[in-house]
Amino acid sequence: MQGDEELTQKPYEPVRRQGSSEIDTALRVFQRFPSRIASILLISLFSLVGFTACFGGSTDEEIPVDTTPPAYLKYDHSDFSVIYPKDWEILSTSDFTSNVPASTVIAFRNNLKNDIFTANLNISQTEITAGTTSEDFALQTLNTEKYNLVSFTELSREAYTLGDELTGEKSFIVTFQGRKTITESLVQFKQLCIARNGYGIIITAASLPNEEQSVVMMLDEMLKSFTLK
């Protein structure tokens, strides 16, 4: 655990006291689900693409291997792929109300609603300084969360490689807790940040600290299934 470790990285953009977009999406909009959008969750999976090989005038076509678990579906975006439980709701930009941050790309939420807070995962994307590494972006984002959340506590920080262990993108998966305001419920977050071509992608899972273990495992599988195209 490194919750007390001082983060010296400067946020990639001015700190917003009203909260960063991915936390706003997980907390502000989806608590107590006041409208048809209440809380969201997202997951992702590695996509395997078949190819056609031509040799000696004959063509052999490989059938793509679908590794999506039976209880999940795959969501394909132009920049990434993810999986999500079949019975969870998927919310796209056309479903969002005006108070959902514009940086939110897609979101998923548990179909079993909770009056306090419904487990969810969202993916947001924002412009960042060219040349920023995923590790630096992760630290910058965490520093912003630490500033904006009430009762912020970092629980763990796990080195994580997106893709191949040797050549993949190095980052962190950070687990932390906090409140949007002093009167709101404590929520636990698990977050992965990836920098790519001048853009930062933030995958944030959120649930109550006492969430059912089966839901926590779904959130973890979803977050770790995220892959870039």
pLDDT of residue 214: 96
Nearest by Cα to 40 from 92, 76, 91: 91
Least confident of 26-35, 73-82, 211-220: 26-35
Confidence (pTM): 0.74
Number of CB atoms found within 10 A of residue 19's CB? 21
The answer to whether position 148 is within a domain reads yes
The answer to whether position 153 is within a domain reads yes
For the record, the structure tokens of 166 come out as 């040797």
The answer to whether position 204 is within a domain reads yes
Work out how many domains the chain is built from and give that number.
1
Report the pLDDT averaged over residues 173-202. Answer: 96
Confidence of residue 207 (pLDDT cuts 50, 70, 90): very high
The answer to whether position 74 is within a domain reads yes
pLDDT of residue 156: 98
Confidence of residue 58 (pLDDT cuts 50, 70, 90): very low
The answer to whether position 133 is within a domain reads yes
Alpha carbons 218 and 121: distance in angstroms, whole number? 10
Identity of the amino acid at 123:
I
Q: What percent of the chain has pLDDT over 90?
A: 62
The answer to whether position 57 is within a domain reads no
pLDDT tens-place string over residues 89-113: 999 988 888 888 899 999 999 999 9
Report the pLDDT averaged over residues 175-189. Answer: 96
The answer to whether position 37 is within a domain reads yes
Q: Which has the higher per-residue pLDDT, 7 or 197?
A: 197
57 Rama class: left (phi>0) / alpha (psi -120 to 50) / beta: left
Alpha carbons 147 and 221: distance in angstroms, whole number? 28
Name residue 109's beta-bridge partners.
Answer: 89, 120
Q: Which domain holds residue 108?
A: 28-46+69-228
Alpha carbons 86 and 115: distance in angstroms, whole number? 22
pLDDT tens-place string over residues 6-48: 444 444 444 444 456 677 777 655 554 544 444 443 333 333 2
End-to-end CA gap in the chain: 32
The answer to whether position 11 is within a domain reads no
pLDDT at 60 over 70: no
pLDDT at 153 over 90: yes
pLDDT of residue 44: 36
Tokens 């490194």 label which residue? 2
CATH code: domain of residue 195: 3.40.1000.10
Radius of gyration of the chain (CA): 18
